[in-house]
Structure 1
Amino acid sequence: MARSYSSYIVAQSKRTPCLQNVCQFISDDCRKHDCKIVSLEFFAQDEKPRRTDLDQLNLEALLNTDVCGCQGRLIIVEDLSTAVIETLGSCLDIDPLFFASQIHGPTFDIVSSKPSDAILPSRALSQNFLSVQYQRTVDFGACSSAPRKMLRNSNVPRKIVLLPPIKNRSIGLEQQSCSILLSTTKSKPWLGLILVDKPNSDKYTTSEKQLVLPSTPFQGGYEDFSERPCFFEPDSGSPGRVSLLEDLVYYWEKERPPAFQPDQPTLLSLTYYPLKIAAAEWVSYVAVISHSIKQFEYSTEATFEEHGLRKIDSDLRSLEVWGRRCLQTSSKLQSAISFLKYQINGAPELEEYSLMIRDFEYIADLVTTYGRRLEIMVPVVTSVLQITDTRRSLKEAANVTRLTYLALLFVPLSFVASLFSMNGGVSAHDLTIYFAVALPLCAMVFFVTRLPTFDFVPLGPAFGKFGNWMRKAL
């Protein structure tokens, strides 16, 4: 009986515990979406690769078939499924860590760890694959009813978080992952494999229900990093910025990466376009951080209303979350920088990749700078919250003081009324006497309550003590 690749993964999970997410993914064999698979075949006589659209049924046949004159293949798989994992793993003898790096959980799990956290850099750099993880920014427009956290409707779960509204627009941060592998088998031709996520759709799920929320790429999507077309030549189009698979096919058909050898490529050349797209997406992410920082700037006029306190409390929570995001972003950027430096290893002919290192370092410096600004804002927002709460308490104390004065007004009036009620009848002359006695007495009571608690120097210490005694007596 032939051994299945799924059983191989389960056996390897005992040696490598971070494969638990792949085991869970395989056991939950209820994927509702079919994978989209594209094969790019490279021929010596063709400048552009030949595209072939596949499905799960003819993928295995393609892997076991050699085309005459084909120098190599690049297979791009969108929205990975259990059947495709079984086919690719059994035909190419792929390290299960490659699939585990792509199928990382959408949320933090205390039971199992991510491969990026569990694998040491020395082992990660020596592998024949790279996993690129980044955040894609999505604009939901003026959407006020959407929950803060959602999952995309796809085989591989991906989390999307909605930020607090920025200028009446809801911006979402969407998890994205792209894994690139160069097969180390001795079979000819060479074979490269790229796993990408499903393109954006309007369908999202929560713990309670499914939602349909129209969305567009933030600020039109990432900037096209290819060379500007000449004015006198026809325009070759632009990437769609919706499907990562189609964007990769667009760039591969437009121009081959630097230092790419069609007969024997390197892993570095296969990761060129995924890393360039990830860097462009990180630039949009940094722009979102910059706009979010402006939301946490306060004027000297503090608000006392209840909704103002709730906003300040929400901003404090958002600052803490942004600080954690910046740390995670810096870690992902440093991982890409380490990979590029290890693969280049001082080769002078790889100038384009050296420039890519500078791009990632520039983005990492921006994230670090914004992270420090966010960290500085935490005590500022905390102080604003304390000052606002203190001023609201003082305002409430002032209201209590007014009520105390109002109650104090009726003390002499009630006293005089009780004194005059000892007589049987009340005439107009009695009312005149009542107000003549009550009003000066009220003035005297308010005067005594306003006396300072310390000795009144101009009138001598005895008068100050008398005022204190009268206040206690009343």
Structure 2
Amino acid sequence: MGSFPWQILTRERSSADERRKYDQHELEKLDFNGMIADGRLKEWEYEEYHNGDIYDEQPSKYEQEWEIDSKNMPYLSHLKRIQTAWPHLRHLRQWMEVTTSPDKWQLLRLLKSDKLTQVRKERASQTSVAAFDFVLDRPVPEELRIRSKDDLGRHLDTLPAKGATRLYVVEDLSRDVIELLGTKLDIDPLFFREHINDYTWYNTRDPWVELPDLDIVSRSRPYFRLTYMQPRYFKTQESYKEAIRQAGHFNVLRRLDVDLEHTSRFDKEEATVALVRSKVSLWIREASDDLPAVGVLLIDPSIKEGDPLWKGYRPFMNSPVPSDHTPFAAAPTTTLFENLLFWIRQTSQHDVNAIQKNPRAMAFRALQIICAEWLTLSRYITARLGQIEWEIERPDFRIEKQEGKDKVDFNTSLQKLHTWRRRLPLYRDMVSETRTKLFPDNDGPGKDAETTDCIGELRKDFGIVAGHIHDLLSRTERIAAVATAVTAIEESRRAIEQNKALGRLTYLAVIFAPLSFVSSFFSMSENVAELSQTIWIYFCVAVPISALAFLLVDKNWTDNMMGVYRKTSAAKQKVKHHHEKKQ
């Protein structure tokens, strides 16, 4: 999306004192997205670009409120120093100062000063990191959980064993985590900048735009960012609103694209499916004579409300046969973080050794999850398009409840279809970008060459995903063409029904026109008493004339009479021919 999807809280209609009366617990609980979902924004007006216009030379008034002293923050100081030459990094600097998306500042500032300080401190220090050391010829990677910035700083100062490759898996982002990783590992700020937002299109004034780079520049960078969609099922609207509130507590900006318009008669009432825009980013420092290879993998926090659609993707292993008694453990589904760590611990010896030659193999399990999510989404879109086709083919599937009555509305199916016509090109571009980042020679002569490492083995899987998206887009266009034709047929039927209604009015006119004429004719006499002797003449004349006029204009009657006449004529000709033949 362009600007923040539901706009931003701004100018208060009430005084500052009245504004402070707002339930503090609600502010902590709901955050931005929850306030919108519960309809609580009516107490304020909206104002766009409260955190600045991309063309503004001077900082906005709100930047003075959230600005912090960066004397002991070398990475933030670095951003302030270079943001003039790289203006798109200004948004990352604002993000670090606010400690979350700057779009949320106008809600955070409604908290009391002491509570605001506490919330910003909690967001800034949030740390959820897991460190893995992949050692050559050792099948199980060494894992360490890190829950504080101090522990993260100490671990960054230690080096892994000789020949080992270290991976930091980071859930969400925070200012302190960016400070430590960026300073100690010397990471390009663009790596963090590209991960913090989820916009898919922009307005002309947006200061958070992510402009594309030239390929000659981007392909030399030691990092890449992949976008994908996570479909999630919610049984009730309250459950969906709770998911929105949970997303509002993320430091990174992540939102849900709800599919309310795609309900069908097979869905549970009030249930809905939402598509969560997600990102995975990987930065790699190649091994050198002095330093080992290190990777930083950024993943999104998880919405715990609801369930993964169809209970999520299948495990990345074959189910055991009855003769296999090898112990196994179920992958946790509570969060993406725990699920990913589980599969990293299952890394095979072959894949551990492959990391030494191709450090991108550290992200193999995350890439498997991305590919599986895309396959689930493609199956979901296939199901929805199938329902739309049923609605087009079967009129009884287009029944909509309106004011307690069943009403057939074909436009509902078209609205569902147009949603996928808008979204599928975005999904196609996401998958295409992923393939380009993972397989730079995707269109080269060696694209079908045999590969031995785990990343190369994923080429076919992502090719299957791209094929599914392409087929779905083509199918959508075909359904649109059929829908257009069916719409024309429906309009023709409606026109016929209207013509029938007009025909009934014509019949009424035919009946009453002769009656009016006869009435006018007999009313020419001024002596009404004289009509008492001749009133029967009115009926004797008016009724036959009306009946005759009606029969003359009734197409069915005239057609039937012509049919009887033709049959009678044919019968007479047949009898005549029979007599002539006897003679």
> TM-score band, normalised by the shorter chain?
0.7 to 0.9
In the alignment of these two chains, the number of paired residues is 439
Per mean C-alpha deviation after superposition, the further-off stretch among 438-447 and 154-163 is 438-447
Give the letter for the 2:156 counterpart: L
Aligned to 1:208: none
Aligned to 1:212: none
Larger fraction in helix: 2
CA shift, 1:241, in A, is 3.5
Mapped partners of 2:528, 2:538: distance in 1: 15
**Alignment of structure 1 residues 218-297 onto 2, 5 Å:** 218-226=309-317, 228=319, 231-256=323-348, 258-261=350-353, 264=356, 266-297=358-389
C-alpha spacing 1:341/1:405, structure 2 compared with 1 (3 Å): closer
C-alpha spacing 1:411/1:348, structure 2 compared with 1 (3 Å): closer
SS at match of 1:77: strand
CA contact (8 A) 2:171 2:299 kept: yes
SS at match of 1:386: helix
**Alignment of structure 1 residues 351-370 onto 2, 5 Å:** 351-370=453-472
CA contact (8 A) 1:19 1:96 kept: yes
**Alignment of structure 1 residues 299-310 onto 2, 5 Å:** 299=393, 307-310=408-411
Give the letter for the 2:217 counterpart: R
Mapped partners of 1:171, 1:62: distance in 2: 41
Mapped partners of 2:239, 2:522: distance in 1: 67
Alignment of 1:328 onto 2:429: yes
C-alpha spacing 1:314/1:162, structure 2 compared with 1 (3 Å): same
Per mean C-alpha deviation after superposition, the further-off stretch among 161-170 and 298-307 is 298-307
SS at match of 1:260: helix
Mapped partners of 1:229, 1:242: distance in 2: 23
C-alpha spacing 1:171/1:78, structure 2 compared with 1 (3 Å): same
SS at match of 2:154: helix
Aligned to 2:212: 118
Alignment of 1:77 onto 2:173: no
Aligned to 1:454: none
Aligned to 1:455: none
Alignment of 1:92 onto 2:185: yes
CA contact (8 A) 2:355 2:361 kept: no
Aligned to 2:534: 430
CA shift, 1:330, in A, is 3.9
C-alpha spacing 1:446/1:12, structure 2 compared with 1 (3 Å): farther
Consecutive unaligned residues in structure 1, runs of 5 or more = 203-214, 452-457, 459-474
CA contact (8 A) 1:130 1:179 kept: yes
Per mean C-alpha deviation after superposition, the further-off stretch among 414-423 and 331-340 is 331-340
Per mean C-alpha deviation after superposition, the further-off stretch among 344-353 and 303-312 is 344-353
For 1:402-454, what per-residue CA distance to the aligned partner results, in whole angstroms no more than 9, with x for missing partners? 12322442222223223333341276653321111111222344356569xxx
Give the letter for the 2:279 counterpart: S
Per mean C-alpha deviation after superposition, the further-off stretch among 278-287 and 434-443 is 434-443
Please report the TM-score for the alignment, with normalisation by the length of structure 2. Answer: 0.66
Mapped partners of 1:15, 1:276: distance in 2: 38
Aligned to 2:231: 137
CA shift, 1:24, in A, is 4.2
CA contact (8 A) 2:257 2:276 kept: yes
SS at match of 2:230: strand
Mapped partners of 2:236, 2:483: distance in 1: 26
For 1:141-176, what per-residue CA distance to the aligned partner results, in whole angstroms no more than 9, with x for missing partners? 4659969x9682321121211221253153221111
Give the letter for the 1:26 counterpart: M
CA contact (8 A) 2:129 2:170 kept: yes
Mapped partners of 1:289, 1:127: distance in 2: 34
Q: Which residue among 295, 298, 301 is the counterpart of 1:192?
A: 295
Percent identity between the aligned chains?
23
Aligned to 2:521: 419
Q: Which residue among 76, 80, 92 is the counterpart of 1:6?
A: 76
CA shift, 1:177, in A, is 1.0
C-alpha spacing 1:182/1:337, structure 2 compared with 1 (3 Å): closer
CA contact (8 A) 2:313 2:373 kept: yes
Mapped partners of 1:43, 1:358: distance in 2: 28
CA contact (8 A) 1:60 1:87 kept: yes
CA shift, 1:8, in A, is 2.5
SS at match of 1:182: strand
Give the letter for the 1:288 counterpart: Y
CA contact (8 A) 2:282 2:363 kept: yes
CA shift, 1:69, in A, is 7.5
For 1:229-268, what per-residue CA distance to the aligned partner results, in whole angstroms no more than 9, with x for missing partners? 5744443213224422212211222224744349956432
C-alpha spacing 1:349/1:411, structure 2 compared with 1 (3 Å): closer
Mapped partners of 2:449, 2:514: distance in 1: 97
Please report the TM-score for the alignment, with normalisation by the length of structure 1. Answer: 0.79
For 1:262-283, what per-residue CA distance to the aligned partner results, in whole angstroms no more than 9, with x for missing partners? 9956432212111111111111
SS at match of 1:136: strand
SS at match of 2:224: strand
Consecutive unaligned residues in structure 2, runs of 5 or more = 1-70, 101-119, 400-405, 556-561, 563-583
Mapped partners of 1:11, 1:389: distance in 2: 64
SS at match of 1:80: coil
CA shift, 1:323, in A, is 3.8
Q: Which residue among 350, 353, 359 is the counterpart of 2:452?
A: 350
Mapped partners of 2:190, 2:349: distance in 1: 26
For 1:25-74, what per-residue CA distance to the aligned partner results, in whole angstroms no more than 9, with x for missing partners? 23433566534222234567783413223223432222123477794532
CA contact (8 A) 2:169 2:298 kept: yes
CA shift, 1:19, in A, is 3.7
CA contact (8 A) 2:83 2:89 kept: yes
Per mean C-alpha deviation after superposition, the further-off stretch among 34-43 and 368-377 is 34-43
Alignment of 1:108 onto 2:201: yes
CA shift, 1:216, in A, is 0.7
SS at match of 1:155: coil
Per mean C-alpha deviation after superposition, the further-off stretch among 422-431 and 49-58 is 422-431
Aligned to 1:338: 439
